[in-house]
Amino acid sequence: MLVRDFKVSDGLRYTSDFLDLLPDKCLDERCQSPTEMTEILTSLRCSNPRCPTKIAQRVIAIMSMLGVKDFGPARANSFVSKFGVKNPLAVFGYVPSDDGAIGEGVNIDISTRIYDQIQSKKSFTLWEYVRVANLPFIQTSALHLFGDFDSIEEAYAKLEAGGIGYIKNKLNIKKSTPVKQQFADIDVEPEDISIRALKIYESLVAFKSDLYWGIQFVDIIPTHKEGMVTLRAVCSDQVGTPFKTKADFYATVNNLYKDMHVEFLSSVTKSIDYLVWAGASESDARVTNKVMKVRSYNETYKERTASGKATQEEHEIPIISASMFLGILQDITKRKGG
Ligand SMILES: [Zn+2]
């Protein structure tokens, strides 16, 4: 409910000192929309889905997923103010030679460096593109809802025809994924699958035009096209030199080859193709749970192979460093080419 309505309906239960602390309007000067809160006082937020503060937060989230350096909260807010950004995907359409600096007080050299980084990291599969948009309530559900499509029009046609029931079905398939992980989003965490499906649906409808508009500025990798190689990998802790962050590694890998795509998953299962870990080439890397899990999978696999029990689907999962992984991708491309 809106905070100003709350003060009328529930005001008698609280002291006026406390009520005075609750702002009626968004504290962002650029917005000043009414604030809203949950009835049990667990959260208070701006009611405007396009509040400049929220847009700036999503811009920051996009830049951090891409591993873009030199772009923190101050620059994100300045970018939003300067261009009146209502859709965070506008970062992909920014061109310094046409638009000038990326924000007030940022010089053109830094702006160009930021632009160059974005340009080198704007290839995505459709579901990754939806995930990177950082829409409310849509993070890991992007894979389940968009993973079967290369075309946003086709994906939306299915979503709109099937509605909330369709989303529920798609999410139910992945029941085992912890809710917390599914909803590592900016907003609240609905615990019920129907409410989650509803929130996801509303968000996808509300931001449909954002996704449609932004897609012109990025390259969508068609994973369902013939001849496309898809690998599944998990990264553990640090991936190894020369990559400082996982985000940097992800974006680099998926911008190297047109007909190869690596799905980076967050948790280890027996079906992944590789585990990328700095420790495969550097002795001081921490042995993580993921590494121990894959090692034990590999032990089991060896035993099962020795006793002739291993099935076709079972395989050893190589544990390799980032640079070894890049070498493997290069080999696969060469083999395909020759
Ligand atoms: Zn606001």
Alpha-carbon separation of residue 67 from 94, 131, 273 (angstroms): 17, 15, 24
Measured in angstroms, how far is the CA atom of residue 215 from the centroid of ligand 1? 26
Confidence of residue 191 (pLDDT cuts 50, 70, 90): low
pLDDT in the model for residue 179: 43
Calculate what percentage of the chain has a pLDDT beyond 70: 93
Distance of CA 24 from the midpoint of ligand 1 (Å): 11
Please write the tens of the pLDDT for every residue from 99-125.
999 999 899 999 999 999 999 999 899
**245/262 Cα distance (integer angstroms):** 17
The pLDDT score that the predictor gives to residue 327 is 92
What is the Å distance from ligand 1's center to 246 Cα? Answer: 32
- Angle, in degrees to the nearest 10, between helices 193-206 and 152-172: 170
Q: What is the pLDDT of residue 186?
A: 41
Average pLDDT, stretch 59-80?
94
Q: Which residue has the higher pLDDT, 203 or 314?
A: 203
Is the predicted pLDDT of residue 72 greater than 80, yes or no? yes
Would you say residue 258 has pLDDT above 80?
A: no
- Ligand 1 midpoint to CA 203 (Å): 17
What is the 27 CA–ligand 1 centroid distance (Å)? Answer: 7
Distance 55 CA to ligand 1 centre (A): 9
**pLDDT tens by residue, 6-50:** 888 888 888 989 889 999 999 999 999 999 987 677 788 999 999
More confident residue, 277 or 229: 277
| Residue listed under structure tokens 């192979």 | 305
Residue 187 has a pLDDT of 44
H helix or E strand, kind and range, residue 124: strand 123-124
Instruction: Give the distance (Å) from ligand 1 centre to CA of residue 156.
Output: 29
Q: What is the mean pLDDT of residues 280-288?
A: 86
Q: What pLDDT is attached to residue 335?
A: 82
Question: Is pLDDT larger for residue 241 or for residue 79?
Answer: 79
**pTM of the predicted model, to two decimals?**
0.73
pLDDT tens-digit map of 154-180: 999 999 999 999 998 888 744 444 444
Contact 76, 66 (CB under 8 A): no
Beta bridge partners of 230: 261
pLDDT of residue 69: 87
Q: What is the whole-number distance in angstroms between the Cα of residue 72 and the centre of ligand 1?
A: 19
C-alpha of residue 277 to centroid of ligand 1, in Å: 41
Q: How far is the CA of 105 from the centre of ligand 1 (A)?
A: 24
Give residue 193's pLDDT band: very low, low, confident or very high (50, 70, 90).
confident
By three-state DSSP, how is residue 123 classified? strand
Most confident range (mean pLDDT) of 244-248, 256-260, 292-296, 303-307 is 292-296
